[in-house]
Amino acid sequence: MEEMKSNFIHDIIDADLAENPEIKVHTRFPPEPNGYLHIGSAKAIWINVMTAKKYGGLFNLRYDDTNPSKEDMEYVDSIYEDLCWLGAEPTGGVYYGSDYFDKCYEFAVKLIKEGKAYVCDLSADELREYRGTLTEPGKNSPYRDRSVEENLDLFERMKNGEFPDGAKTLRAKIDMASPNINMRDPAIYRIVHTDHHRQGNKWCIYPLYDYAHPIQDALEGITHSLCSIEFENHRPLYEWVVDNIGFEKKPKQREFARLNVTHTVMSKRYLRKLVEENLVDGWDDPRLPTLCGLRRRGYTPASIFDFVSRAGVAKAYSVVDIELLEHCIREELDESADRRIAILRPIPVTITNYPEDKTEYFDLPNHPKHPERGTRKVPFTKHLYIDADDFAEVPPPKFFRLKPGGEVRLMGAYIIRLDEIVKNEDGTVKELLCSCDIETGNGMPADGRKVKGTVHWLSAATAIDAEIRLYDKLFTLENVAEMPEGKTYGDYLNLASVESLTGAKLEPCMKDESADARFQFVRTGYFVKDSKHEGVYNRIVSLKDSYKPPLA
């Protein structure tokens, strides 16, 4: 990973270090294990990892597993796998929010004893009613002035499982008239009678994120708690918890803008809906913005971090064009991917003047820009395939590929002329009968005639079968975050976002290639083997388009 450019977060850290050079910068990434990470998560990971790296500090992974009703070990494992794949292994260690449940409970008792927290019996609906609005202050709970003794007794009984879900909450006693709604006596504990994936049935009360997170940060020695902008209004509560529990070393929360990308969604809830309703092929569907989906699609960690780097670190809301991501992987693969031939929509071609029992081999470069990568031998026989896109019975103007009576160059091999079109009974093309100019080999005609078109080809005798999947954008709406009133995600789901070509043909050497090798299929795009289905290749990205990346 290249060094991160300076930004407003680094300006904050530089100022902190100028004031206290002894600070050892320590960051963290705190995902909730209730779904798979997506490319928005990659931005948070990149910022925290690279900030720690720049200042010679440490980076923690901490699972925010404080809500047992939505969490699962499947997600725990996937998160760690994604971090390792990105090259962002936690140098400071791996932790779980649930490891701190005893300390959170202990600190809650401390707040109760100091008159800073109380047990409230208001229902969820009543809590919303008492909370007030952005323009009107809230009202004190009728349970706000319970004695310390009563609150301690009720809180212990909550812990012991005496009350049903939702019957009571523990609330911080702050200010119901605060202009910041998050400071209006927020709930810090709720009752949830659900087994925890790590703690089992030890607990039936669980701390809320706004209370637990600053405690976890402080206990781990996090210096800079870097999070997305929606937590900015929660920062006063973060600081209230740290101050009132009495931590000597206080972590500092600072916020950055989330990564919003065109033609996709970052909502775990909706991504889960797509998976559960079988609208996509699992969390790792190559159309999804999940990291496992991008990995299956063929994107690399370098391309993803290049993308989030180019998207930048700021506080202002913005939407980044998904074509920038495509540009990043295309730019990488143009240099790194070897070239191979694939015929996506094959048409049989017979070279009528070529011997039936003859096979010869033509050397084709593995990478035309890098001759040091050598060549490979591609077999040539009487019976070939070309792509349907390279033939037209009634050609449009300036069509330089194969047409009746016309000549084309077979890439790296002979010049051929189309002499006859053989059709099926239904009128579709069955076979093209061509003759080749044996004298040309892979050189120019002796008589000096010009042949403008070049098409790719494969021997029918040696080509291997494959399924090719071509992917398009998952949503037809560019900015899905700004949906028109009355519309839902489903209204813009692109049901034609994948095209499966089951009759494709590949070079014979492809059967021996590694599972994660990426290739440019000449004149078609960049592809990788699908990790779930044998014989399937996913198009990572097309060869080129009109996108112009912004200047760095």
Active-site residue set: 32, 258, 268
Distance of CA 318 to the CA centre of its chain: 18
- Tell me the β-bridge partners of 410: 455
For 402, residues 6+ apart whose C-beta sits below 8 A from its C-beta are 386, 390, 391, 392, 408, 416, 418, 432, 434, 453, 455
What's the token pair of residue 364?
């084709």
The answer to whether 515 and 531 have CB atoms below 8 angstroms apart is yes
Q: Which residues on neighbouring strands pair with residue 387, listed in sequence order?
A: 346
Which residues, other chains included, contact 134 with Cβ-Cβ below 8 Å and sequence gap of 6+? 181
**Helix (H) and strand (E) counts in the chain:** 12, 27
The first and second tokens of residue 22, run together, are 């002894």
Beta strands in 472-548 (DSSP E): 498-506, 518-521, 525-529, 536-541
Q: Is 421 helix (H, G, I), strand (E, B) or coil?
A: strand
Return d(Cα 340, Cα 343) in angstroms, integer: 10
Using the structure block, give the residue that is written with the tokens 């026989």.
381
Question: Residue 151 corresponds to which tokens in the numbers above?
Answer: 């609150």
Measured distance between the N- and C-terminal CA atoms of the chain, rounded to whole angstroms? 17
The C-alpha atoms of residue 413 and residue 428 are separated, in whole angstroms, by: 28
Helix (H, G, I), strand (E, B) or coil at 436: strand
| Residue 319: exposure state from Cβ atoms within 10 A (0-12, 13-18, ≥19) | middle
User: How far are the Cα atoms of 1, 231, 310, 391 from residue 551, in angstroms, in the given order?
Assistant: 20, 30, 9, 40
Q: What is the DSSP letter of 395?
A: P
Give the pairing of strands 525-529 and 518-521: antiparallel
Under 8 Å between Cβ of 404 and 417: no
Token pair of 44 as six digits: 């948070």
